[in-house]
Amino acid sequence: MRFLRFAAIALAVLLFGFQMAASSARAVSIDEGYRTVKLNKEGKTVVITNEQYEDGKKLFNDTCSQCHMAGRTKTNPNITLKLEDLEGAFPPRDSIAGIVDFMKDPKTYDGELSIDVLHLSTSRLDLWSEMRKYKSDDLYNVAGYILVQPALQGEMWGGGKTVN
């Protein structure tokens, strides 16, 4: 009787252990090197956590991927989300601060004109209701997700054929 109880407990512990192992294997875990991105144009870097990455990915797929599928830009294939294009913008957008600023106050590539009536932004929630759910953490996470992609996907991100 005592042995049976012991066996039942041992079995429960074993099954619980398996379940833990299986669920942690399911969660995506990306190497820290890939998750290290530029925080601002002064060149400070920051590590995006796996949770921030997952959150940013979900937001990107919900709100951005319809135009920025795989880092390309529908209707303007010259201004993609690959690093060289982000770097070449004025002000540079190849950092979390640069992309967050673009989502708050999008400008033409040369920085001359506001395009907040053409590109979604949090400054015109009357036009872009999909941005109402974006808190500052969300802007940070989606920017982080975009900046991890070039390291993960290389030339595939923002490269290749654009279908307009």
Degrees, nearest 5: CA angle 54-58-61: 135
Residue 17's φ and ψ, nearest 5 degrees, are: -60, -45
Task: Select 35 or 99, whichever has its Cβ closest to ligand HEC.
Answer: 99
Q: What per-residue string of b and e applies to 101-119 under the rule 16 or more CB within 10 Å gives b? A: bbbeebbeeeeeeeebeeb
Omega of the bond leading into 91 within 30 degrees of 0 (cis): yes
- CB of 42 vs ligand HEC, minimal distance in Å: 19
Taking CB under 6 A as the rule, which mask of x and - marks residues 41-70 in contact with ligand HEC?
----------------------xx-xxx--
User: Which of 38, 53, 93, 157 is close enough to bind ligand HEC by CB under 6 A?
Assistant: 93
Residue type, 97: A
Told to check if 109 binds ligand HEC by CB under 6 A, we report: yes
Within 9-38, the residues that bind ligand HEC by CB under 6 A are none
> Which residue, 152, 154, 158, 153, is CA-closest to 70?
158
Considering only 56, 57, 73, 147, the residue that binds ligand HEC (CB under 6 A) is: 73
Q: Is 89 in the site for ligand HEC (CB under 6 A)?
A: yes
What residue ranges bind ligand HEC (CB under 6 A)? Answer: 63-64, 66-68, 73, 75-76, 79, 81, 85-86, 89, 93, 99, 102-103, 108-109, 115, 119-120, 142
